[in-house]
Amino acid sequence: MLSINDIDIEAYIKKMPSLRITAKKALELSNNVAISPLDLNQLILSDPILTGRLLQLVSTAYDDESPDILSMVRAITMLGINTVKNLVYTNATLSLESDHLEHSFEVHYWKHSLCTGIISRILAEKQGIFSSLHEEYYIAGFLHDIGMLPLKTLCKNEYQKELTLEKENEFFGTNHCLVGEKIAKLWQFKPQIKDVVMFHHDILDTSYSGKNQNILNTVIIADYLSSLYYGDIQAIKPNELIWQKTGITEAFFDNISDSIAYEIKKGELFLNLC
């Protein structure tokens, strides 16, 4: 077993850079004097680290006395464009100076996270969730696997994208949900995002009784459908009760596959990945 101590994990989280695949676009936009909140919004919602860092910045700036700000455009406007541009530039620079993730892993991670976020947002709409909360569902899905990034960096080639939660525990003495919990606490995520990061692998266990059950169940389903979208036929289907609570059926996936493909292609074009 390759044991990783909490000190190393927390030290990495504090300096965790953006993804390298978004860094070039981030530098381009941060140097644009005419950039708008909408431009920054598109960039930030393309990178889970930037998304998490902006949520952290909001919590820090308003000392948790602000309303639930999970709209990136609203957060950017409140913080100020120059403040957010500095955040983007700093993280992009750190990313280009580091060699923390191999390209194939990073692209796989980004695609799965983006796909899960997109499906979570679509499922929120399908359930009749207020439109003002759709971005919250996207962010929760987009950030659900954020704990993988420190694990992959600190464990280098020992960490493979196919590892199950049980194998992570066996090999490393921890798992990406527990590491994600550390990120959620250090970056002061709101409870609904923190619960998704911590409990999204409780796909066969329906004992969660917190206030954020619907968003958690929605992301659990989105995570499963995202795996199917990329051809993982071994993905474990969530407990039937989770499907029942959301009113979603697996058959709905066929109706949204074109929308998923369109949104992912938009993201790839924005970052010049294709």
Write down the pLDDT at residue 161.
67
Residue with tokens 């071994």: 234
Interatomic CA distance for residues 110 and 68, integer angstroms: 26
Is-above-0.85 flag for pTM? yes
> Tens digits of per-residue pLDDT, 22-39?
998 999 988 888 888 889
Q: Label residue 25 exposed, middle or buried (CB < 10 Å: 0-12, 13-18, 19+).
A: buried
Write down the pLDDT at residue 156.
74
Q: Output the six-digit token pair for 22.
A: 């978004």
**In sequence order, what DSSP letters do the residues of 109-170 get, joined into one string?**
HHHHHHHHHHHHHHHHHHTT--GGGHHHHHHHHHHTTTTHHHHHHHHGGG--TT--HHHHHH
Write down the pLDDT at residue 130.
92
Can you list the domains of the chain with their CATH numbers? 18-99 (no CATH), 102-274 (1.10.3210.10)
Interatomic CA distance for residues 203 and 216, integer angstroms: 10
Answer yes or no: are the C-beta atoms of 200 and 86 closer than 8 Å.
no
Q: Output the six-digit token pair for 196.
A: 């998704």
Stretch 90-111: mean pLDDT, rounded? Answer: 85
Candidates 19, 47, 174, 164; CA nearest to 104 is 19
Stretch 164-189: mean pLDDT, rounded? Answer: 91
Max CA-CA distance within the chain?
Answer: 51
| Gyration radius of the chain over CA positions | 18
Binned at pLDDT 50, 70 and 90, residue 234 comes out as confident
Q: In the predicted model, what is the mean pLDDT of the chain? A: 89
Interatomic CA distance for residues 142 and 200, integer angstroms: 12
> Tens digits of per-residue pLDDT, 30-65?
888 888 888 999 999 999 999 999 988 888 876 655
Answer yes or no: are the C-beta atoms of 168 and 250 closer than 8 Å.
no
> Tens digits of per-residue pLDDT, 118-175?
999 999 999 999 998 999 999 999 999 999 999 888 887 677 766 788 888 888 889 9
Answer yes or no: are the C-beta atoms of 13 and 261 closer than 8 Å.
no
Give the three-class secondary structure for 201. Answer: coil
Q: What are phi and psi of 213, to 5 degrees?
A: -60, -40
Binned at pLDDT 50, 70 and 90, residue 113 comes out as very high
Cβ atoms < 10 Å from Cβ of 160: 11
Does the pLDDT value for residue 96 go beyond 90?
no
> Tens digits of per-residue pLDDT, 5-24?
788 889 999 889 899 999 98
Stretch 230-259: mean pLDDT, rounded? Answer: 91
Write down the pLDDT at residue 2.
64
Does the pLDDT value for residue 101 go beyond 80?
no
Does the pLDDT value for residue 1 go beyond 70?
no
